[in-house]
Amino acid sequence: ETGVTQSPTHLIKTRGQQVTLRCSSQSGHNTVSWYQQALGQGPQFIFQYYREEENGRGNFPPRFSGLQFPNYSSELNVNALELDDSALYLCASSLDPGEQAPLHFGNGTRLTVT
């Protein structure tokens, strides 16, 4: 069983740039959720994808967008980066969004915006 993998592990960008983060779900999981975790805080829900469609969204602006592919891998795109976007971005996969099964997390991408 392959776990959740995220790439890259670390990234440094300049304010105003765009970034794409990638996630491969655990095998057999069709749902992926993205979270932002600022230093010293709990993870904040960005959005969830189920079978390639957005299935829910947290309180994040439209410059945060995502995609889910037929193999259930996923991307998180952030446009017009701001300093406050510096955080650990976590991807989590699960079996199904209807029944809140446990989330399986990747180790995250540490994004630094300068």
Partner 1 sequence: SQQGEEDPQALSIQEGENATMNCSYKTSINNLQWYRQNSGRGLVHLILIRSNEREKHSGRLRVTLDTSKKSSSLLITASRAADTASYFCATDPRNQAGTALIFGKGTTLSVSS
Contacts with partner 1 by CB under 8 A lie at 4, 33, 35, 40-45, 48, 55-59, 88, 90, 92, 97, 100, 102-108, 110
Shortest separation between residue 105's beta carbon and partner 1, angstroms: 4
- Can you tell me the distance from the alpha carbon of 45 to that of 34, in angstroms, rounded to the nearest whole number? 6
Shortest separation between residue 96's beta carbon and partner 1, angstroms: 12
- Can you tell me the distance from the alpha carbon of 47 to that of 87, in angstroms, rounded to the nearest whole number? 16
Which of 101, 96, 89 has the alpha carbon at shortest distance from 7? 89
Q: Of 19 and 91, which CB lies nearer to partner 1 in the complex structure?
A: 91
Q: Of 16 and 61, which CB lies nearer to partner 1 in the complex structure?
A: 61
Q: Of 16 and 48, which CB lies nearer to partner 1 in the complex structure?
A: 48
The answer to whether residues 34 and 27 touch, using CB atoms and an 8 Å cutoff, is no
